[in-house]
Chain A
Amino acid sequence: MAFVMSKGWALALAIGIGGAVGAGSAFAHDDKLPPNASPATKAAYARHDNFRKLGGAFKTMNDELKKGEPDKAVVATNARTVATLAGQLPTWFPRGSGVEARPMSEARPEIWRDAAGFSTAASNLQAQAIKLNQLAAAGDIDGVKGQVRNTGMTCKGCHDKYRVEKKD
């Protein structure tokens, strides 16, 4: 009976692993910048890298804050990165750098169609990130913990409106 059962499990396992591998290849953002890429295409790729840096810094800071005794230096360093990148963010979206420049781009055309709204959303992030950075630089861990939510909400607010929900 054990032998018979192992076949069933092997099949179930194969389906699970197959699904995971398929997912990895289908979704991975690992396409390389094509040679002779136009400035708009280069901007789309650079933007993606910048968002990964922004997300990485924000995550490192959030992970640190979850610890019993967060390292103030780690929090401050990453908060500064978040604030710096947030300040640069409006320059990451030159006109024409959407899906037309990189099909995998998750930037919605509304970014340029509703430029004023997008600009306001970017300013909101900047304002919250500056506050975050000030609190982190002052070593106010409790203050940072509170401000993290406000900052994250501005990320989410903009993603909900100007980012494609799912691209595959």
Chain B
Amino acid sequence: MVERSPGVRARLWDGPVRIVHWLLVVLICFSWWASGDHMNWHRWSGYAVIGLVLFRIYWGFAGAGAAKFSSFVKGPKAIAAYAAKVGNREPSTTPGHNPLGAISVLAILALLLVQAGSGLFAVDVDAFEGGPFSDRVSFDLGRQIAEWHELSFRALQALVGLHIAAVLFYGLWKRTNLVGAMITGKRTFASDPGHTGAPVWRLAAGVVLAAGLAWALSKGFRF
């Protein structure tokens, strides 16, 4: 319906947001697979995830438009108001994360930090493999952290499942294609929400900061 109504194809997600999103998809799957018998790859994948999440948090403050936390994180009233009508069969008009989806975004980012952060200290059952900080903890504590690492991944799987279910719900029930916008960066709106971009130097600064911190963590702060 909305596809037929007149509207404008407008900018929604900037390049950094899309790249972070899809790299996280790839790396979360890859990390899961590599956790079996490829601990070196698993560690590198984890460092990349930390870098991406740190960058995304930075971008939530230093970026612009729909990337900014202040543009989509709302209080309980706005969340309740949105939740009350989320079941309505009408296309979504929010130019970015809706107030409910914002909770999911923050929860996934926080959980990814718990996931990757616990991995830095985790110790394998064979006391052979471990994160770059595993020598700072005892075998018992490292094993405990490894178990948190495992449980936090189950929570992450649940959140990802919910995220995919929500995207399907919007596509099938509300007839709003959210996936396309995350690929092309553009979506059709009644009027252009007027998202602007952030200066390139801020992007460069964020990449350097996040990559530098992830690198330092991968070294266990030993240089």
Chain A residues with CB under 8 A of B74: 4, 8
B114 (CB) vs chain A CBs: closest residue? A16
Q: Which of B86-94, B124-132, B197-205 is near enough to bind chain A?
A: B124-132
Interface pair B142/A8, CB less than 8 Å apart: no
Q: B215 contacts the other chain (Cβ, under 8 Å)?
A: no
Contact B143 A55 (CB under 8 A): yes
Contacts of A4 in B (CB 8 A): 70, 73-75
- Does A63 sit at the interface, judged by CB under 8 A? yes
Main secondary structure of the interface of A (DSSP, over half): helix
B192 within 8 A of A: no
List the 8 closest A-B pairs by CB distance, nearest first. Answer: A23-B151, A152-B128, A12-B106, A12-B110, A63-B135, A27-B147, A8-B73, A59-B127
Count contacts between A and B, CB distance < 8 Å.
Answer: 108
Which residues of A does B touch, CB under 8 Å?
Answer: 1-5, 7-9, 11-13, 15-16, 19-20, 22-24, 26-28, 52, 54-56, 58-60, 62-63, 66, 148, 152, 155-156, 159, 163, 166, 168
Q: Are A11 and B70 also in contact (CB < 8 A) when A19-B151, A24-B144, A156-B128 are?
A: no
Count of interface residues, chain B, beta-carbon cutoff 8 Å: 36
CB nearest neighbor in A for B71? A1
With an 8 A cutoff between CB atoms, is B181 at the interface? no
Residue B155, interface by CB 8 Å:
yes
Q: Once the chains bind, are A62 and B128 in contact (CB under 8 Å)? A: yes
CB <8 Å contact, A20 and B107: no
The reply to whether A16 and B73 contact each other, CB–CB distance below 8 Å, is no
Chosen A-B contacts, 20 in total, with CB atoms closer than 8 Å, are A1-B70, A7-B73, A8-B73, A16-B111, A16-B113, A20-B114, A22-B151, A23-B151, A27-B144, A27-B150, A56-B138, A60-B139, A62-B128, A63-B134, A66-B135, A148-B128, A152-B127, A155-B127, A156-B126, A166-B150
Pick the contact of B140 from A16, A26, A52, A152 — CB < 8 Å? A52
Question: Once bound together, how far apart are the Cα atoms of A105 and B135, in whole Å?
Answer: 26
Question: Which residues of B does A touch, CB under 8 Å?
Answer: 69-70, 73-76, 102-103, 106-107, 109-111, 113-114, 118, 123, 125-128, 130, 134-135, 138-140, 142-144, 147-148, 150-152, 155
**Which of chain A's residues have a CB closer than 8 A to the CB of B107?**
11-12, 15-16
Contact indicator B125/A163 (Cβ below 8 Å)? yes
> Is the CB–CB distance between B151 and A27 below 8 Å?
yes
Query: In the complex, which of the residues A3, A12, A55 contacts B139, with contact meaning CB atoms closer than 8 Å?
Result: A55
Contact across chains for B128 and A155 when beta carbons are under 8 A apart: yes
In the bound complex, do residue B151 and residue A26 qualify as a contact, i.e. CB atoms below 8 Å apart? yes
A56–B144 touching, CB < 8 Å: no
Which B residues lie within 8 Å of A22 (CB)?
151
Q: Which residues of A contact B143 (CB under 8 A)?
A: 55
Q: How far is the CB of A25 from chain B (nearest CB, A)?
A: 10
A77 to chain B, nearest CB (A): 15
- A61 closest partner in B (C-beta): B127
B128 touches A58 (CB 8 A): yes
Residues from chain A with Cβ under 8 Å of B118 in the complex: 20
Assess the B139–A15 pair: CB atoms within 8 A. no
Cα of A3 to Cα of B75 in the assembled complex, Å: 9
Within the complex, which residue of B102, B139, B152 is in contact with A59, where a contact is CB–CB below 8 Å? B139
